[in-house]
Structure 1
Amino acid sequence: MRWSDFSKLIKFRLTFLVVFSASISFLIGSKVNGEIVWKNWALLIIGGFLVTGAANGFNEIIEKDLDKLMLRTADRPLPSGRMTNGQALVLSLFMGIAGTYILGHLNLTTGYLSVFSIFLYAFIYTPAKRKSPVAVFIGAIPGALPPLIGYVAAHPKIDYIALVLFGIQFVWQFPHFWAIAWVLDDDYKLAGFRLLPSGKRDATSAAITFLFTLILVPVSLLPTYYNFGGLYVGAVSLLCSFAFLYFAFNLLLKQDISSAKKLMYSSFFYLPIVQLALLFDFVGK
């Protein structure tokens, strides 16, 4: 088995972003806790990588025949035949068990959340993608769990800070994912996926995307409102949110793929900038 095939099975870039988000939240939780245990930070990264890789592996096993239909996914190892279902299943089970054990070793809450994230993403969200656009709401829950898992791994209590970190990533996912769905809608429809709010590229989908981007503005200010993020965190969050909102408004006006791509690319920058601003604020305290 080649590294490139394993990388595609676990969706390496997506897995990296998930682990990055969790690691930032771990450091924030560590500051709340009063100390950073770097050994646990390393265990979180390893365990988070394995759990996320397992969820993505199960997702690709389930969607193997659908991936054959889409240009974007036809070259993945399972639909292309370079890897068998059995090989992918063994790898995914190993990663899931090992990752859950490592995260559960940090504390039981982290372990339970990791199992829940695998189950919800792979076995609820994945089949729901062909049923209804509501699948995006289901998928937003496991998609927002990494910062919660990272925080709880360091500070084993789901407090208001943990919920705010979860909430920011939860709301962010809607414009992020709908922008991707707008760009890839033709490809998605080849596999029967219904992911845009109205099921197609139209004013309704653009308006709902804009609405959720608008909701993100006050949500991003919650760290400052609850006084665990300083004024500069609020300023950075507000600036990023308004820039994000501008691209969402542009999609509402033009309703074209070019505008959706700009919104999609802006979403890639939004989350890490806001999370890093919050982390640096905690480090400076």
Structure 2
Amino acid sequence: MLAALNIVLYSWIYTSLKRKSILNTWVGAIVGAIPPLMGWAACSSLSDLGAWCLAALLYAWQFPHFNSLSHNIKTEYQKAGYVMTAFVNPKLNARVALRYSLLMFPICFGLSYWGVCDNYFSFDSSILNGWMAYMSFKFWLQQRHNYSKKIQAAGGPSAAEITIANAYAKKLFWCSIWQLPVVLVLAMLHKTGQWDGLYYHFFGYNKENDKLKEKFTNAM
């Protein structure tokens, strides 16, 4: 069902919206978020909120990634007839990238809260999320300046100000390239119970056995 939904979303709705509305980016982000749900559904229940946190992670990441990418090639999109936020509303383009960069923090906390990862993941992932949020903030701040009423009244941003915005967009794009795979690797390393077998092998320690012993002791 998820695969069929993704085919419809991508080949019909998303592709059609590219030439009609900036909403195509939001629909495209849903397309990118569904595959993790498909993997989860293959081995567990989608009633587990951890599955939706993982999908939300992929969904949110796509905005700082794509919005920064599209910024520097917005002219090509416009010439091709694709309606993208980067040229329709450049200020909104940067603001959306910042919003979803900040959303990465609670999503990663959710992965720990719902038991997908241990609590240390919240700390590790925050370093990477902080890096991307900072780059998003610099990009947004420059675009906010470039498209302020004062600058627009003066005839628009100067060549130097445009160059600075382009540079921040490029830095954010490369930041996003590294951020997601490293966060996912950290999620695997911090997966709940990932190292229990190793602890048991070296130290004779097993969390699940200890929980059962504690439960039995309390019952007695």
User: Which TM class, normalised by the smaller chain length?
Assistant: 0.7 to 0.9
Number of positions where the alignment pairs a residue of Structure 1 with one of Structure 2: 173
| Corresponding residue for residue 277 of structure 1 | 186
Distance 1:134 1:268, change over 3 A: same
Structure 1 residue 183: Cα displacement: 1.8
In structure 2, C-alpha distance between the alignment counterparts of 1:269 and 1:151, rounded to whole Å:
24
TM-superposed CA distance for 1:155, in Å, is: 2.1
- Partner residue of 1:210 out of 94, 98, 101: 98
2:127 is aligned to 239
C-alpha separation in 2, matches of 1:152 and 1:220: 20
Q: Which amino acid aligns with 1:284?
A: W
Q: Give 1:224 deviation, angstroms.
A: 1.6
1:161-189 CA deviation, whole Å, 9 max, x = no partner?
11111111111111111111112111111
Per the alignment, do residues 204 and 157 of structure 1 end up closer, same or farther by CA in structure 2, a change over 3 Å counting? closer
1:103-125 CA distance string (max 9 Å, x none): xxxxxxxxx21121122111110
Q: Tell me which residue corresponds to 1:117.
A: 6
Query: With structure 2 as the length reference, what TM-score do the two structures score?
Result: 0.73
Per the TM alignment, residue 204 of structure 1 is displaced from its structure 2 partner at its CA by 3.1
Aligned-pair distance for 1:198? 6.9
Who wins on radius of gyration, i.e. which is larger? 2
Deviation at 1:197, TM superposition (A): 6.3
The match for 1:173 among 50, 62, 76 is 62
- Out of 20, 45, 66, the position equivalent to 1:131 is 20
Query: How far is 1:156 from its partner?
Result: 4.8
Cα offset, 1:258, TM superposition: 1.4
CA distance in 2, matches of 1:227, 1:211: 25
Within 5 Å, give how 1:20-99 maps onto structure 2.
none
In the TM superposition, what are the counterparts of 1:155-174 in structure 2 within 5 Å? 155-174=44-63
Equivalent residue, structure 1, for 2:139: 251
Percent identical among aligned pairs is 29
Give the structure 1 partner of residue 176 of structure 2.
Answer: 267
Conserved 8 A contact 1:213-1:245: yes
Q: Cα–Cα, structure 1 residues 183 and 197, in superposed 2: closer, same or farther, change >3 Å?
A: closer
1:121 and 1:254, CA in 2 relative to 1: closer, same or farther beyond 3 A? Answer: same
Q: Distance in 1 between matches of 2:119 and 2:3?
A: 33
SS at match of 1:230: coil
Runs of 4+ more than 6 Å apart? none
- Kept in 1, the 8 Å contact 2:71–2:86? The answer is no
Describe the shift of the 1:158–1:142 C-alpha distance in structure 2 as closer, same or farther (beyond 3 A).
farther
Q: Which runs of 5+ in 2 are unaligned?
A: 144-164, 197-220
Q: Secondary structure at the match of 2:84?
A: coil
1:260 shift after superposition:
0.7
Distance (whole Å) between structure 2 residues aligned to residue 226 and residue 174 of structure 1: 24
Distance of 2:172 and 2:108 partners within structure 1: 17
Amino acid at match of 1:263: L
Secondary structure of the corresponding residue to residue 221 of structure 1: helix
Pairing 1:184–2:73 present: yes
User: 8 Å contact 1:133–1:197 — kept in the other structure?
Assistant: no
Letter in 1 for 2:195: G
Q: List gaps (5 residues or longer) in structure 1.
A: 1-111
**Alignment root-mean-square deviation, CA:** 1.7
How far apart in 1 are the matches of 2:99 and 2:87? 14
